Structure 1
């Protein structure tokens, strides 16, 4: 059976308006005209619509049609941010936390603050318009917009998430890969944007390709000075006896919304939960290791760099029953 078509909503007014300034009051010739000097010829995603009372500040668009112009900085430079929230059987999982992280990423890039009330409404509207599915993935994207325009572009795309039941059942294999930065790079070099969920994901995807080239399913990044960080698209969590541990988020890694939910679940199960630095050899000695993300749930790791790792089947099942209820 073919997958249901995704739903795409373009945000007409994606960010809060900046304070008026002399430079912003007078539009440039380019801002007054569309492509090739044609007034009003911008694609739908680049215009800021005037909304009659009671109409939403977003509109539905064809998910298979072109969306952004060729000079959009998100496309040409990776200059933008995104976040992805999961809906399980129509119920949002930590949506507000994803929205706050989305805004934090935008702030790290110096983008205007997203209008979170509008983004939240658009996400819920897109999910409601989608064909029901066990797990839906809502991806929020905000770019800096066209070169020289200072007009961010944003949209929400909702699609059925892939089924991760095989990973939950069989576990995954990972390799450790050097990220090339010290663990404290977010403090020493904040302009490297570690901890922001940017559109510049080429390195993350290259790591996944390298992992598969080595015969593994996924990767775990390690800092240049030898500390465990995160996966290319997931947080790392391990169990040590009666405690759940994850690498400290002040080490230039993304603050994981699913990882925080795992900590909440740990408390429900009577387990302690800690942030601290983790060495790669601790993964091998752990009582369980997982890669966790919103639509994936908790994927148990069964081997690291070709060496077997303990799989905690009862805790894996308990985590996924709560992370992805009813799936």
Structure 2
């Protein structure tokens, strides 16, 4: 298994500066380490080509704007990504783009690309599906609009709550989580968007949660919606409540790395699933670059 590849964005190295992932690389005083003050993106690369790279760069820029964080130019990111993928030289990889506010009081962001292998567990869950728990996220669906300083629409490095939710799910014999709001709305997974489908004869409708409810806009959800619209699906954006998950003809969690994973059970209760719809959406995902 190849090691993790690190490529730091450095003006002195236009293609990025390769660094040894087995050696310390980040200052202990970097605000990303001490305060989680930074942002990131994760995307999938196939055969050396990153998928939806512009969508991820756009969302990185959106997160940076919310944090008032200076970003390197898009061209520098693209060059570092290609350097990392060439060094990794495997057909499938996870590419992470990371930027922190940098060393305290230095005024210079720290930015790097990380390329690593895709976990086998992610591939397996695409096939077998997920058992999920509904967990209260602890805020109502209008909080993002009232309190923009909480950064609910940014993909920040502060993922401790999301990881704690996943550990809680694993401790309770589940694979993943769907967060709900204090006012009873369906939100998102810790690392994914929620999709549901309804089939009425020849009419197929794909629905996701409201994008203004404090969730992170999903790049894969957005690309899949565009492809589904072209294929004749009807589209909808919530609001969704837990009962909608149980009433749907199929439910999925979708993300850039795991792609489309069907939900089999919610809180231990088996829900509807539709292998034909899953296959159709997977075929649409395969067309996205």
Q: TM-score, normalised by structure 1?
A: 0.83
| Cα distance in 1 between the residues matched to 2:68 and 2:103 | 16
Shift of 1:128: 1.9
1:9 partnered with 2:17: no
Contact 1:297 1:324 in 2 (8 A): no
Could you say which residue in structure 2 is the equivalent of 1:136? 93
For the aligned residue pairs, the C-alpha RMSD in angstroms reads: 1.6
> Which string of whole-angstrom CA distances, capped at 9 and with x for unpartnered residues, describes residues 85-108 of structure 1?
111222321100000101111111
Shift of 1:231: 0.2
Could you say which residue in structure 2 is the equivalent of 1:318? 280
Contact 1:106 1:114 in 2 (8 A): no
Contact 1:11 1:154 in 2 (8 A): yes
SS class of match (1:195): coil
SS class of match (1:262): helix
> Which string of whole-angstrom CA distances, capped at 9 and with x for unpartnered residues, describes residues 203-239 of structure 1?
0000101111221100000011110000000111110
1:197 partnered with 2:155: yes
Residues 168-177 or 83-92, more deviating: 83-92
| Cα distance in 1 between the residues matched to 2:15 and 2:48 | 23
- Which aligned pairs between 1:203-214 and structure 2 lie closer than 5 A? 203-214=161-172
1:238 partnered with 2:238: no
Higher Cα Rg: structure 1 or 2? 1
Shift of 1:264: 2.1
Note the residue ranges of structure 2 that are not aligned, 5 or more in a row.
none
| Cα distance in 1 between the residues matched to 2:71 and 2:90 | 31
Could you say which residue in structure 2 is the equivalent of 1:247? 209
- Which aligned pairs between 1:92-171 and structure 2 lie closer than 5 A? 92-133=50-91, 135-163=92-120, 164-171=122-129
Note the residue ranges of structure 1 that are not aligned, 5 or more in a row.
14-50
| Cα distance in 1 between the residues matched to 2:102 and 2:266 | 41
Shift of 1:324: 4.6
1:89 partnered with 2:47: yes
Contact 1:168 1:316 in 2 (8 A): no
| Cα distance in 2 between the residues matched to 1:92 and 1:148 | 34
Q: TM-score, normalised by structure 2?
A: 0.93
Could you say which residue in structure 2 is the equivalent of 1:60? 18
1:305 to 247, 267, 272: 267
Shift of 1:114: 3.2
Contact 1:74 1:80 in 2 (8 A): yes
> Which string of whole-angstrom CA distances, capped at 9 and with x for unpartnered residues, describes residues 237-292 of structure 1?
11022210000111111010000122123224321111121001110110111111
Q: Which has the higher strand share?
A: 2
1:224 partnered with 2:182: yes
> Which string of whole-angstrom CA distances, capped at 9 and with x for unpartnered residues, describes residues 286-324 of structure 1?
011111111211000011111111111122123223435
Contact 2:134 2:179 in 1 (8 A): yes
| Cα distance in 2 between the residues matched to 1:63 and 1:10 | 11
1:271 partnered with 2:233: yes
| Cα distance in 1 between the residues matched to 2:79 and 2:57 | 11
SS class of match (1:150): coil
Q: 1:96 to 1:117 in 2, by over 3 A?
A: same
| Cα distance in 1 between the residues matched to 2:212 and 2:73 | 26
Contact 2:96 2:113 in 1 (8 A): yes
